[in-house]
Amino acid sequence: MDTVTPFQYELIYNAFSFTFAAMAAATLFLWLSRSQVAPAYRTALTISGVVTGIAAYHYFRIFESWHQAYMFKDGVVTVTGVAFNDAYRYVDWLLTVPLLLIELILVMRLSRAETNAKTIKLGTAAALMIVLGYPGEIATDLGARALWGGLSMIPFIYIVWQLFVGLGESIKQQPVAAQGLVRTARMVTFASWGFYPVVFAAPFFGLTGGSVETAIQVGYTIADLVAKVGLGILIFLIAVRKSETETVDGKAYAG
Amino acid sequence: MDTVTPFQYELIYNAFSFTFAAMAAATLFLWLSRSQVAPAYRTALTISGVVTGIAAYHYFRIFESWHQAYMFKDGVVTVTGVAFNDAYRYVDWLLTVPLLLIELILVMRLSRAETNAKTIKLGTAAALMIVLGYPGEIATDLGARALWGGLSMIPFIYIVWQLFVGLGESIKQQPVAAQGLVRTARMVTFASWGFYPVVFAAPFFGLTGGSVETAIQVGYTIADLVAKVGLGILIFLIAVRKSETETVDGKAYAG
């Protein structure tokens, strides 16, 4: 375990606690908001809440693991020898990343055939991306990190291409009032996902020890917040906006 | 860590426990009450409950941290050396203060454009206010505390001005039955928020050691209770009052 300064220790500690609170709050918000949208969009909100809920659980565990890996007493941080379990992140992503893509597809309300095809293609690519990235994350030499990171980029680029080209055509089928929000959701997904490889590459930027640990932990945490809570709120807004254009028994849907 | 007397230790300990209970109770009350109000006001109640829920989590953590920072045994309080994590408060505020402003805006039910504009302006100012205040809170010399506290007052004054001038005009658009309650909600927000800088300034009033610690912890706790639980109950009352003036299918909304 890298030694960290008291500032780095507390920054990471508080970032984990903040993220647990934000993920748990988003989960309850998304689930309670199901009744505010038309039935067709409720599954998208349910899954958005499942994603932040799974992340809340993992941030609780990561927080506990961080707390056990170090002792902060009398102003000094010492390593306890208990390993910090970095695998929680990859376990979380293996579950949540395919679901994030599914919530994005569901809120667009494509045809059933299109929904199924995109879910299987993007979900499989996402799982492959996570599985290939993990050996790089725990590798101790930079060569192995670069190799697995590079392999993981292949499904990553496929997903980004699909989001831009494949979903791009579907955006035109969306109600005009929701098109801007759907475009923002796609952009948030793209920007936050693009941030993960940058964080992964932190050790290549000359950072070492506590600094690289801090860059990786805080970097992934920010990316997770944007990708999960940010996208969840956008999914909610899109669902509300699209519900307003739906009619139930000839009247506009009123929640 | 400052040494505190047994009285101060117990006062703060019980204040934290009281506040956890009050925040958790308010959360469940607000969420369970969603079905009592017209659909347009349910998101305001959901968010009010999210705010008290996030605060309940942080008071639980603050309570635990306080418990670990001191040992109270055989009538004597001693410092354990484990740091008391004051950052929980700022992490909490970073999440809840923008949300508090959003719940106040949502319950007024302004036009979509006005809601979005006010949410972004007030939310950003609130986040800036918290981020600027934190370096002052943890500073060990009074000069730095005064500097960051002063910088934090700039967005604070902007928010108060917006609440009074900006939202003041919107109050006239509210149903007559709810105008008084909306004015009270604005006043509670103003009064409780105005109390935070007073607590922040406690070390300038000649208080030291355990006395300043007690003033700060108990002061912030009271301000949090009024700003979150007090405002949440007012939002509920406004939502109920406004729901009574709404009609569904030509009939008054009956809950």
Dist CA A205 CA A198 (whole Å): 10
Give the one of B42, B85, B92 whose C-beta lies nearest to A36's C-beta. Answer: B42
Q: E strand or H helix at B72, and its extent?
A: strand B70-73
Query: Is A19 inside a domain boundary?
Result: yes
Strands of A32-128 (E only): list them. Answer: 70-73, 76-79
Give the pLDDT of residue B255: 57
Q: Which of B193, B233, B238 is nearest to B101 (CA)?
A: B193
- pLDDT tens, position by position, A207-220: 888 899 999 999 99
User: Where does the pLDDT of residue B193 fall: very low under 50, low under 70, confident under 90, or very high at 90 and above?
Assistant: confident
Residues from chain B contacting residue A18 (CB–CB below 8 Å): 91, 94-95
Asked whether the beta carbons of residue B43 and residue A33 sit closer than 8 angstroms, the reply is yes
Residues from chain A contacting residue B92 (CB–CB below 8 Å): 21
Give the three-state DSSP class for A167. Answer: helix
Interface of A with B (CB under 8 A): 10, 13-14, 17-18, 20-22, 24-25, 28-29, 32-33, 35-36, 72-75, 254-255
- pLDDT tens, position by position, B116-147: 888 899 999 999 999 999 999 988 889 999 99
Asked whether the beta carbons of residue A14 and residue B87 sit closer than 8 angstroms, the reply is yes
Give the one of A20, A21, A32 whose C-beta lies nearest to B31's C-beta. Answer: A32
Task: Report the number of distinct structural domains present in chain A.
Answer: 1
Query: Is B241 inside a domain boundary?
Result: yes
* Predicted confidence (pLDDT) at residue B250 exceeds the cutoff of 80: no
Q: Which of A231, A230, A227, A169 is nearest to A194 (CA)?
A: A227
* Predicted confidence (pLDDT) at residue A252 exceeds the cutoff of 70: no
Query: Is A172 inside a domain boundary?
Result: yes
To the nearest whole Å, the CA of A29 is away from the closest chain B CA by 6
Distance of CA A213 to the CA centre of its chain: 20
Give me the phi and psi of B77, to 5 degrees please.
-100, 125
Asked whether the beta carbons of residue A73 and residue B82 sit closer than 8 angstroms, the reply is yes
Give the pLDDT of residue B49: 97
Token code pair at residue B220:
């912030």
Range of the domain at B88: 6-245
Bridge partners, residue A252, by sequence: A247
Burial class (CB in 10 A: 0-12, 13-18, 19+), B29: middle
Query: Is A31 inside a domain boundary?
Result: yes
Question: Which CATH number does the domain housing residue B171 bear?
Answer: 1.20.1070.10
Q: Return the axis-axis angle of helices B176-200 and B112-138, rounded to nearest 10°.
A: 20
Query: Is B253 inside a domain boundary?
Result: no
* Predicted confidence (pLDDT) at residue A114 exceeds the cutoff of 70: yes
Give me the phi and psi of A158, to 5 degrees please.
-60, -45
| Mean pLDDT value of segment A169-173 | 81
Query: Is B254 inside a domain boundary?
Result: no
User: Where does the pLDDT of residue A255 fall: very low under 50, low under 70, confident under 90, or very high at 90 and above?
Assistant: low
Q: Which long-range contacts (CB under 8 A, 24 or more apart) does B177-182 make?
A: B177/B241, B177/B242, B177/B244, B177/B245, B178/B238, B178/B241, B178/B242, B178/B245, B181/B234, B181/B237, B181/B238, B181/B241, B182/B107, B182/B108, B182/B238
Chain A / chain B CB contacts < 8 angstroms: 59
- C-beta separation of A37 from A103 below 8 A: no
* Predicted confidence (pLDDT) at residue B187 exceeds the cutoff of 90: no
Mutate to test the interface with A, among B35, B46, B95, B109 (most CBs of A within 10 A): B46
- C-beta separation of A91 from A77 below 8 A: no
* Predicted confidence (pLDDT) at residue B40 exceeds the cutoff of 80: yes
Residues from chain B contacting residue A74 (CB–CB below 8 Å): 81
